[in-house]
Structure 1
Amino acid sequence: MGEANLLEALVNRVLLQISVNDRQAGDDNVEISYTFSRSAISQDPLHRPDRAVNGATDIPEEFYAEVEALPNLPQPFADAFDVQKIRHERLLHWLMRGSLAPRDDLERLAEQSVILMGDAAHAMPIIGGDGGNAAIEDAVTLAEWIADNGTEDISSYYETRYRHWKSLVDGSARRLAEMHDEPKSVL
């Protein structure tokens, strides 16, 4: 991997990533994380949006079959995605999706002195820290808004943010789709 700490390849619309978590100077051992990501397909045994959160460690056999069916992976992907090895690893099955709370619901809550922001108002897939960055931005803009306007009509805060939140959620959905469609090369 040279000096790189992230490698990506797109194989049959499946995005494969390997990232280096820890590497000690003079030590041949490297701790890595790897990601297998693809869009949901019709009758998808891997897409289980109603599963409980603790179901993230329940990895269906179909996942291993899909990994094994990946054709002629170059190194280091062939080693990182070796089914016999990954069966013994701690794997997590993440569902990446976004949501935007209905504006009427947000305004009703604000009338009760409850204001939502971050993932509570607009969840986004875990791509590049977008959700965390948006939550921080929400906190800063809400604080600024309260400093300028007080807390009497907090529901009008949503007028200043809702369109922006919709663009964030829509943009993250586009980036998620592009992740599996754009040509990728092994770096």
Structure 2
Amino acid sequence: MGIRRADLLAVLLAAVGESVRFGSELTGFEQDAQSVTLRLAGGEEFGGDVLIAADGLQSTVRERLVGETELRRPGVLVCQAAVEGMGPSPEAAFTEVWGAAMRFGCYPVRDGVCWFAFLPSAGADALAVAGPKELLLERTESWSAPAREAIAATPAAAIVCGEVVARDPIERWTEGRVALLGDAAHPMTPFTGQGACQAIEDGIVLAECLRDDPHVAAALRAYEARRLPRTSEIWNRSWAAATSVAKKRRTIDPARQKAFAAAFERVVWKQPEQTIAEAF
């Protein structure tokens, strides 16, 4: 199932109502045995029973808990866009094409498709000179559908490109009444398509742990213990896939291509199947 990020956020926002506050910058927090106090830019303070930090790749709370950790760069660029009015590939709901020096994928969402393309960072200069759309069209000239069709149907201004980054897995997500969630805990590369999925799983497990144990600190430790092994394993697979793209060249060894094709169903495609089917 594919869903636009904005649509998912709208569903979640509707579920929690007016309790969400935007435009507030967290500058620090303090906790004791009974509560947590947040400090915001401007001097405001708010108290609560627990602090769940889902503040992403640049998490302020993560830095306070475990210190600053460097960004990891696998050497990959990503270009992506959404195309309205374009139907999905007739062969499959999700399509991925692997080629020399590029990997492309697309999937259906409401009113169209979303697509992405990964390229080695070594191609950044060519991307800047030609522009994303022209370079991607040139790279997919001989490719099968729907890669070239999706790129051609996308307005050049709608294509967003950036560097793929991550942070190393950490062994501690919680401290007392404070816990990390999602990219604040395990920011991974997008190569397994599991970044947002793992954040959703985090939320489900966290809710179960807080429901089942009235002692907040113990509940958060249980959440950490349940989630660490799975997210670390997926992080490692995602990082390995990213580095494999970074090493790709614009030529293909026919013998290696034949061997890889033979093993694809048995090895490569089995991994996302197992990830989706595994209990968490």
Partner-residue secondary structure (3-state), 1:123: coil
Distance 1:73 1:8, change over 3 A: farther
Which deviations, in whole Å up to 9, do the C-alpha atoms of 1:20-47 show, x marking residues without a partner?
5577xxxxxxx55443212333xx536x
2:239 maps to 1:173: yes
2:129 maps to 1:99: no
| CA drift at 1:170 | 0.9
Which residue of the other structure, out of 45, 66, 86, is the alignment partner of 2:124? 45
| CA drift at 1:160 | 3.9
CA distance in 2, matches of 1:78, 1:159: 44
- Give 5+ residue unaligned stretches, structure 2: 1-88, 249-259, 265-280
CA distance in 1, matches of 2:217, 2:96: 50
| CA drift at 1:100 | 4.3
Q: Following superposition of structure 1 onto structure 2, how do residues 82-93 of structure 1 map, counting pairs within 5 Å?
A: 88-93=156-161
- Give 5+ residue unaligned stretches, structure 1: 24-30, 47-58
Q: Following superposition of structure 1 onto structure 2, how do residues 22-171 of structure 1 map, counting pairs within 5 Å?
A: 31-41=112-122, 45=124, 60-61=128-129, 63-64=131-132, 66-67=135-136, 69-70=138-139, 72-74=141-143, 76=145, 77-81=147-151, 88-100=156-168, 102-103=170-171, 106-107=173-174, 110-111=175-176, 113-127=177-191, 129-146=193-210, 147-148=212-213, 150-153=215-218, 156-157=221-222, 158-171=224-237
Distance 1:80 1:137, change over 3 A: closer
CA distance in 1, matches of 2:245, 2:118: 9
Aligned length: 157
| CA drift at 1:134 | 1.5
Partner-residue secondary structure (3-state), 1:103: coil
Q: Is the 8 A contact 2:186 2:231 kept in 1?
A: yes
CA distance in 1, matches of 2:216, 2:110: 46
Distance 1:135 1:93, change over 3 A: same
CA distance in 2, matches of 1:136, 1:22: 20
Identify the residue that residue 64 of structure 2 maps to in structure 1.
none
More strand by share: 2
Partner-residue secondary structure (3-state), 1:38: strand
| CA drift at 1:165 | 2.5
CA distance in 2, matches of 1:75, 1:127: 21
Structure 1 length normalisation: TM-score? 0.59
Which deviations, in whole Å up to 9, do the C-alpha atoms of 1:93-122 show, x marking residues without a partner?
143343345335x34xx23x2211112111
CA distance in 2, matches of 1:39, 1:5: 26
Amino acid at match of 2:215: G
Between 142-151 and 62-71, report the one with greater CA deviation. 62-71
Q: CA RMSD in A?
A: 3.8
Distance 1:154 1:75, change over 3 A: closer
Q: Structure with the greater relative contact order (CA < 8 A, sep ≥ 6): 1 or 2?
A: 1
| CA drift at 1:163 | 3.0
% identical aligned pairs: 15
